[in-house]
Structure 1
Amino acid sequence: MPASVHLVIPCYRESGRIGPFLAELCETLAPAGGVTVRVVEDGSDEAERRRMRTLIDAQRARSPLLLEPLFLPHNLGKGGAVYSAWREEKSADWLAFVDADGACSAAEVLRLIQLARETPANTALFASRVKMLGRTVERDFRRHVIGRVYATLVSELLDIPVYDSQCGLKLVPRVSFERISPRLAVHGFAFDVELLAALLDSGCTVHEVPISWHETPGGKVHLLRDSWRMARDVWRIRQRRG
C-alpha cells in the first residue's frame, strides 16, 4: 500500500473561495489512494462557520476522503490551525498542508504527494515558488520582493539557505513532526520558519521542490503589518535556537 497522507487546509473566512479548489482537490487526489483531507476553520464568526459547514458537508457527500472538519473556537493563526489537526492525526505516514486559495493547484499537490512516497525516511518536502523552465509562477510584484527580503532575513539570521520558506504546500513525515512538536511555539504566518528550523535541528532532511503557483486575490496577509510580525518572530526563533 502507498504511504498514507493526511492533508490539512487551514481556513479563516475562506468560504467565498475554497469551494472550487476543494472540489478539484478531492477529485484529483481520490485515485491516489491513502489520502485524507481535513479542513480546519480557524475561529471565524458564526455565520462564516455555518457557510463553511454547508460547503464541506456537500462536498463530503461526494468525496469519502474528505473528513469531518475541525472548527476551532478561537483564532489561533495559520500555524495553530495546521498544528491542531496534525497533532490529532496519529496514524498517517505523512502530514501535509496546503493553502485554501488554490494558488497551488490540485495537480501540484498530487505531484508532491507522489514524490513524497518515493522520498527516503526522515525527509520533508517544502514547495518553493522558483521561476524556472517548466514551472509557472505568477505573483504580485510587491509580494515577490518582500518574499525575497524575508528569505534573505531567514537565511542570514538562522543560517538556513532556504529560497522560499513561506510557500503554502508542505509535507512532513509524521514521526519527524512528533519529535519536534513540543518545541513549536510560533502559530502565526512565520510558523513555517520555525517548523523548518526545528526539522533541520532534529536531523530531518528538508528538500525544496519547485512548483507552479498562480496567486489569487483575497489573501489575508497584510504586507506591512504582517511582514513586521514575521520578522519579529524570526528574531525570536533565532534567540530560542541559541
Structure 2
Amino acid sequence: MSSESSVGVVIPAYDPDLLTLERYIENIRQVLSPDVIRVEIDSPRKSHVERLDEIVEVNASTSRRGKGSAIMEGFDALDTDILAFADADGSVPAPSLDDIVYQIKQGTTDVSIASRRHPSSNIVAHQTVVRRLLGDAFAFAARKMLPTQCRDYQCGAKALTAEAWEAVGHHCYEPGFAWDLEFVSVAGSLGYEIAEIPVEWEDHPDSTVSPVSTSIELATALIDVKRRTDAIATSPRFRDVKKTERSKLMKLGNSDGD
C-alpha cells in the first residue's frame, strides 16, 4: 500500500438522522478525500435517497438487510485498494477514521479497527451505564471464547486491503450487528495482524440500536462465530501458512466452491 492507494468508504444506514449523515459524509470527504463514498441504506424514505444521491453513491434496499449484509454488499461493490466502513451516526469522527485508514496506507497492517477501549482513546460522551456494562461483559466473553482477541470488537469503524477482504469476506455470514465480531475473529483466524487504533468517540443516545435486543443477538451469534472461526484457526489448510499464501488459497477456494 502507499499514500496513493485508492480508498472506498461504505456507510451502512437504517433510518439515519439525515443532517447528521450529510455532515459526516462531508467531513469524511474533506479529511480522507476517498475515491468513493457509498451509502448502503435500508428501508429508506424516498426523499432521503434523493438527497443523498446528490452527494454520494447510494445503494438503497427496500428491505432491512442488517448492518453486516449492507457492509458486505458495499465492500463487494467497491473497486478500490482499501475498503473502510463507518457507522452512519458519526460516533467515530472523520479524523479518527483517517487514522484507521492511514495504518493500511502505510503498509503496517492489512486490517485496522477502531477501539474505544484503547488506553489512548478519547471518549467525548460515554454510553449509558447499562450500555457500558453490557458492552464490557460482551467484550470480556468474546476475548475468553474466540481465537482472535482484542479490546473492542464492535466499535463502528474498520478498514482493510481489498486483497484481505477477498479472503476474510469468504467466511463472513452474519447479517446484523454481530458482523463486526465475526469480521475481527475471521481476520485473526486467517492470520492477519489486526491493528487496534485509538479513536475519539462520542455516544449517540438517539441511535436506533436497542441495547437489550442487540446484546441478545450478539450473545447468540458469539457461539456460531466461535465455532466457525475455531474451525478456521485449527484447519491444516491455514496452519503455518504465510499471510500472502493464505490469500492465494482463499482465491482458489472461491473458484473451486470450497
Q: Please give the TM-score of this superposition, normalised by the length of structure 2.
A: 0.81
Partner of 1:87: 76
Kindly report which structure 2 residues correspond to 1:217-228, keeping only aligned pairs within 5 A, or say none: 217-228=205-216
| Secondary structure of the structure 2 residue equivalent to 1:187 | coil
Partner of 1:130: 117
Q: Could you tell me which runs of 5 or more consecutive residues in structure 2 were left unpaired when the two chains were aligned.
A: 232-258
Kindly report which structure 2 residues correspond to 1:125-204, keeping only aligned pairs within 5 A, or say none: 125-130=112-117, 132=119, 135-140=122-127, 141-204=129-192
- The 1-side partners of 2:132 and 2:149 are apart by 17
Q: 1:172 to 1:133 in 2, by over 3 A?
A: closer
The question of whether the paired residues in 2 share the 8 Å contact of 1:15 and 1:51 is answered with no
- The 1-side partners of 2:119 and 2:108 are apart by 25
Q: 1:74 to 1:169 in 2, by over 3 A?
A: same
Pick one of 43, 48, 56 that aligns with 1:52.
48
Instruction: Find out whether 1:24 has 2:27 as its counterpart.
Output: yes
Amino acid at match of 2:194: V
Amino acid at match of 1:158: L
The question of whether the paired residues in 2 share the 8 Å contact of 1:8 and 1:85 is answered with yes
Q: 1:133 to 1:95 in 2, by over 3 A?
A: closer
- The 2-side partners of 1:97 and 1:54 are apart by 22
Instruction: Find out whether 1:7 has 2:9 as its counterpart.
Output: yes
The alpha-carbon deviation at position 133 of structure 1 amounts to 5.1
Amino acid at match of 2:32: L
The question of whether the paired residues in 2 share the 8 Å contact of 1:131 and 1:137 is answered with no
Partner of 2:40: 40
* 1:19-45 deviation line (CA, Å, top 9, x unaligned): 222222222233xxx532111112x15
CA RMSD after TM alignment: 1.9
Pick one of 194, 197, 201 that aligns with 1:206.
194
Moved more, 176-185 or 97-106: 176-185
Partner of 1:63: none
- The 2-side partners of 1:104 and 1:53 are apart by 23
- The 2-side partners of 1:133 and 1:154 are apart by 22
The question of whether the paired residues in 1 share the 8 Å contact of 2:10 and 2:74 is answered with yes
Amino acid at match of 1:199: A
Identity of aligned residues (%): 24
